[in-house]
C-alpha cells in the first residue's frame, strides 16, 4: 500500500552506522526526518549528508531527529562517513540505516522501478511526534535536495500544528501567515491580538502568532 500524508509511519528495527535501533524509540517525542539515498559513495549524496550534519544545531532547536538510509551495509556506511567528514568538512552526527534487504525502502515506497530497479530514489519524510507522516518529497538521483526548504517546511508544519493558520507561498519563519478559513473574520481579533488584514473574505493575514 502506498504511504500517504497523514498515515502512520511504519516502525522498524534496523542496523545502522550507530548500532541497532527501533525507529519509534529513536524518535521518541521528537519530530523526525527520514531520508534515503541511492547508494553509498555517490557524489550528490555525499554533499547531502555533509550538509545535514552541518545543520545539526538547526534541527536540534526544532526538536528534530534526522536519520538516513541506503541499501548498502553498515560497514560500507562507516567507510563512506569517513569520506563525507573529510570532503564536506563536517562530522556525520546521525545514523545511516543499512537496508540491505530493502524491507524499509519498500514499506516507505522508496523504490521506483522506472527510475531504478535496485536503488532507492531520494525520498524524504517528515514525521510528527505522533508518528504520522506530515510531508513527503521525492527527488531524482541527479538532483540534490534543498535543506533550507526542509527547514522552512518544518517551521511551517510546527507552526500550523499548534495555531489556526497556514503559511503562504515562499513564507519564511517570522513573516505574516494566513488565518485558517475555519476562523470567522469577526473572531480573528480575539484569537490573533497582534492584528490582521482582510485582503479578501477568504484571504486574511496576521503576524506569526508564536513570534
Q: Which helix (H) or strand (E) holds 155?
A: helix 147-162
Instruction: Region of 109 please: left (phi>0), alpha (psi -120 to 50) or beta.
Output: left
Residues annotated as catalytic (active site), given as ranges: 45
Q: Of 8, 2, 14, whose CA–CA distance to 102 is shortest? A: 14
Q: Which helix (H) or strand (E) holds 59?
A: helix 56-61
- Residue corresponding to grid cell 473572531: 187
Q: What DSSP line would sit under 139-154, residue for residue?
A: E-TTS---HHHHHHHH
Start-to-end C-alpha separation, the chain? 40
Cα separations (Å) of 54 from 37, 43, 90, 147, 167?
18, 17, 6, 11, 26
Gap between the Cα atoms of 207 and 43, Å rounded: 41
Amino acid at each position: 500500500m502506498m504511504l500517504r500524508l497523514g498515515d502512520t509511519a511504519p516502525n522498524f528495527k534496523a542496523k545502522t552506522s550507530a548500532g541497532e535501533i527501533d525507529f519509534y524509540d529513536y524518535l521518541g517525542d521528537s519530530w523526525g526526518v527520514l531520508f534515503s539515498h541511492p547508494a553509498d559513495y555517490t557524489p550528490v549524496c555525499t554533499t547531502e549528508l555533509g550538509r545535514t550534519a552541518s545543520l545539526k544545531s538547526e534541527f536540534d532547536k526544532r526538536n528534530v531527529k534526522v536519520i538516513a538510509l541506503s541499501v548498502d551495509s553498515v560497514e560500507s556506511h562507516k567507510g563512506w562517513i569517513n569520506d563525507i567528514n573529510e570532503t564536506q568538512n563536517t562530522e556525520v552526527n546521525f545514523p545511516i540505516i543499512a537496508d540491505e534487504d530493502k524491507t524499509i525502502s519498500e514499506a516507505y515506497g522508496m523504490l521506483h522501478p522506472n527510475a531504478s530497479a535496485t536503488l532507492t530514489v531520494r525520498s524524504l519524510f517528515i514525521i510528527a511526534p505522533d508518528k504520522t507522516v506530515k510531508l513527503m518529497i521525492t527527488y531524482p538521483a541527479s538532483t540534490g535536495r534543498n535543506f533550507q526548504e526542509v527547514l522552512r517546511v518544518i517551521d511551517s508544519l510546527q507552526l500550523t500544528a499548534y495555531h489556526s493558520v497556514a503559511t503562504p507561498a515562499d513564507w519564511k519563519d517570522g513573516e505574516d501567515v494566513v488565518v485558517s478559513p475555519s476562523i470567522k473574520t469577526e473572531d480573528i481579533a480575539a484569537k490573533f491580538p497582534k492584528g490582521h488584514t482582510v485582503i479578501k473574505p477568504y484571504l486574511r493575514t496576521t503576524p506569526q502568532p508564536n513570534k
